[in-house]
């Protein structure tokens, strides 16, 4: 059950055309809010000029609200690897120059090829920004972190991005070996979304 009286809107635009993110965020929000992809309104994506996840989430949310006229939710997330000084960080999606998930994973494994398990700590970070309109001066900002480490080889078929390389200590498996339901309870995105649901007055997922 959701508390719809707390919500001033029934739909919002997600500042992304990433189908994986869209499905995850819709599942986490439930049926109280319809999430529409930015591609319903424009093919032009915001230029991510920020230096932090929060800055980029705000830039993307403002752009999506501007082109859609709807409240906008943006997710900026990525992988921060301890041994790489926090890289790939905000550049996670284009770590290998925009060549896709497989290339990003291969580059990460190569960067860590001589790093022992004890030094392969990493965390997924998610920053969510919700703007009621493009000029909203008080956006809702929520951040979540998911601690783990980087495996030596990909494992698992679920998820997207770096999921096959991210070992989840709570389950002793990779993120890509979790069911979508399990991932949606444990992940960095789930932790940020739990905060957002609370701020919106929604019941816990």
**Positions marked active-site:** 76
DSSP-derived 3-state class of residue 142: strand
Whether 201 contacts 183, CB under 8 Å: no
Buried/exposed 75-105: b ≥16 CB within 10 Å, e otherwise = bbbbbbbebbeebbbbebbebbeeeebeebb
Distance CA 183, CA 192 (A): 13
Cα–Cα distances (Å) from 94 to 46, 103, 122, in that order, read 15, 9, 18
């Amino acid at each position: 059950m959701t508390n719809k009286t707390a919500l001033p809107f029934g739909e919002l635009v997600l500042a992304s055309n990433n189908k994986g993110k869209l499905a995850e965020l819709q599942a986490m929000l439930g049926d109280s809010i319809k999430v529409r992809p930015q591609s319903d309104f424009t093919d032009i994506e915001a230029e991510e000029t920020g230096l932090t996840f929060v800055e980029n989430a705000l830039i993307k949310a403002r752009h999506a609200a501007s082109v859609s006229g709807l409240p906008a939710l943006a997710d900026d997330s990525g992988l921060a690897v301890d041994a790489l000084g926090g890289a790939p960080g905000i550049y996670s999606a284009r770590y290998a120059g925009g060549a896709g998930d497989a290339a990003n994973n291969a580059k990460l494994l190569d960067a860590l090829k001589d790093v022992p398990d004890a030094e392969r700590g990493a965390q997924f970070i998610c920053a969510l920004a919700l703007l009621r309109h493009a000029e909203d001066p008080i956006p809702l900002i929520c951040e979540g972190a998911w601690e783990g480490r980087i495996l030596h080889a990909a494992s698992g078929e679920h998820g997207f991005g770096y999921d096959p390389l991210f070992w989840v200590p709570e389950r002793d498996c990779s993120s890509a070996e979790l069911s979508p339901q399990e991932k949606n309870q444990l992940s960095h995105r789930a932790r940020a979304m739990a905060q957002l649901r609370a701020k919106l007055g929604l019941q816990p997922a």
